[in-house]
């Protein structure tokens, strides 16, 4: 089943009025992509006909298995139900980055408890998207301080309609609507540029980047153990989602990749928001692909072509066999690049 990305907006009523039968994996994955290709196998084959789409997506993400990977003696990655969660653990407590979707909370809590009795001191949000921030309130209720870039708090405080919509085969437009988050889900501490935490013998450096995947993104550098968590600034091995509705810019994603490449060495573990754990070589390939994609679409756009005409030109035909097999296909990525130039 195939869906086209459109530039038009649609009201939530239009969205929910639609009686649409969808292939869940194809439809949902290119809104908020799944961590790994294997996730497709776990996706339900049919979505509800008049769904509360956001609730459905939460449940769908929660069908993913959670995998554990040790990145260093005191740093653990949990990967699965929405992004990748990284935990620094030790006598000073736990410091957690990102939090999966809400229905995954019991599994995440169990996994965190399994690391030891130390309380979670801080939960850090990499950006505002719900598959990374959904358990803010749970963490705060358990005593943690939620820390994020100031734009994350701003975006979570506002309503958003996803401007890149999908057209189902029957012609109905579908999109996502986000209500403002309740007060208890908002970050308690924010910063404007950078922030440093010292704990458990580690230095955690948080750095905002100019508009990239969204305008809320930070990367998290665990400096002593040589781990950099890029979250959704990096989709390892696949075309990325870039959010035109909250300030996403492809040039910003390229700049973020270049910045991390300047910090990384050949041993640096680079945590992607979606896709397997990466390294400098993976990130270099990702950056090079983005530069090629940006240049080609920029040329078409400056020649006066519409997004649909740019898609029809198939500018990524040679890239698709490598990058288009994951979450976003080549046609969709042409439109994402076009909208985020």
Binding site for Zn ion (CB under 5 A): 129, 232
The distance of closest approach from Cβ of residue 256 to Zn ion in the complex, given in angstroms and rounded to an integer, is 13
Distance of alpha carbon 38 from alpha carbon 305, whole angstroms? 36
Say if CB 201 and CB 134 are below 8 A apart.
no
Q: Smaller CB distance to Zn ion: residue 6 or 272? A: 272
The distance of closest approach from Cβ of residue 274 to Zn ion in the complex, given in angstroms and rounded to an integer, is 8
Q: Smaller CB distance to Zn ion: residue 32 or 168? A: 32
The distance of closest approach from Cβ of residue 201 to Zn ion in the complex, given in angstroms and rounded to an integer, is 30
Say if CB 256 and CB 209 are below 8 A apart.
yes
Interhelix angle 280-302/330-339, nearest 10 degrees? 70
The distance of closest approach from Cβ of residue 257 to Zn ion in the complex, given in angstroms and rounded to an integer, is 15
- Take residue 338 and report the two structure tokens written for it: 């076009």
Q: Smaller CB distance to Zn ion: residue 310 or 339? A: 339
Say if CB 185 and CB 137 are below 8 A apart.
yes
Q: Smaller CB distance to Zn ion: residue 129 or 280? A: 129
Q: Smaller CB distance to Zn ion: residue 241 or 338? A: 241
The distance of closest approach from Cβ of residue 142 to Zn ion in the complex, given in angstroms and rounded to an integer, is 24
To which H or E segment does residue 87 belong?
A: strand 84-88
CB atoms within 10 A of CB 267: 8
Q: How many residues does the chain have?
A: 341
* Continuous H helices in the chain: 12-17, 24-29, 39-42, 53-61, 105-113, 130-133, 136-141, 150-157, 250-263, 280-302, 307-312, 320-323, 330-339
Q: Smaller CB distance to Zn ion: residue 129 or 287? A: 129
The label of the residue with tokens 């939530």 reads 12
Distances (CA, A) of 137 to 22, 166, 188, 234: 31, 30, 10, 26
The distance of closest approach from Cβ of residue 273 to Zn ion in the complex, given in angstroms and rounded to an integer, is 6
The label of the residue with tokens 């990367």 reads 219
Interhelix angle 250-263/280-302, nearest 10 degrees? 150
The distance of closest approach from Cβ of residue 33 to Zn ion in the complex, given in angstroms and rounded to an integer, is 8
Q: Smaller CB distance to Zn ion: residue 215 or 232? A: 232
């Amino acid at each position: 089943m195939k869906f086209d990305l459109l530039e038009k907006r649609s009201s939530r009523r239009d969205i929910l009025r639609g009686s649409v039968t969808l292939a869940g994996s194809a439809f949902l994955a290119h809104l908020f992509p799944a961590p790994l290709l294997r996730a497709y196998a776990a996706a339900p084959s049919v979505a509800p006909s008049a769904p509360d789409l956001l609730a459905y997506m939460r449940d769908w993400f929660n069908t993913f298995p959670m995998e554990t990977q040790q990145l260093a003696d005191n740093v653990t990655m949990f990967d699965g139900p929405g992004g990748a969660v990284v935990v620094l653990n030790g006598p000073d407590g736990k410091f957690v980055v990102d939090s999966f979707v809400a229905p995954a909370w019991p599994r995440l809590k169990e996994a965190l408890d399994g690391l030891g009795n130390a309380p979670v001191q801080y939960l850090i949000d990499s950006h505002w998207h719900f598959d990374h921030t959904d358990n803010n309130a749970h963490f705060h209720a358990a005593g943690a301080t939620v820390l994020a870039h100031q734009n994350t708090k701003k975006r979570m405080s506002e309503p958003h309609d996803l401007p890149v919509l999908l057209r189902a085969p029957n012609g109905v437009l579908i999109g996502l609507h986000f209500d403002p988050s309740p007060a208890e889900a908002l970050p308690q501490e924010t910063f404007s540029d950078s922030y440093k935490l010292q704990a458990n013998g580690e230095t955690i450096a948080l750095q905002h980047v100019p508009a990239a995947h969204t305008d809320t993104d930070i990367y998290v550098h665990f400096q002593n153990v040589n781990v950099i968590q890029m979250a959704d600034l990096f989709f390892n091995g696949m075309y990325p989602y870039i959010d035109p509705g909250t300030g996403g810019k492809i040039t910003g994603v390229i700049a973020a990749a270049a910045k991390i490449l300047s910090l990384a060495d050949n041993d640096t573990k680079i945590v992607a928001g979606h896709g397997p754990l990466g390294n400098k070589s993976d990130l270099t390939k990702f950056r090079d692909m983005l530069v090629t994609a940006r240049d080609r679409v920029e040329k078409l756009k400056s020649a006066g072509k519409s997004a649909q005409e740019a898609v029809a030109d198939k500018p990524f035909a040679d890239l698709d066999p490598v990058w288009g097999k994951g979450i976003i296909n080549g046609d969709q990525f042409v439109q994402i690049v076009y909208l985020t130039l």
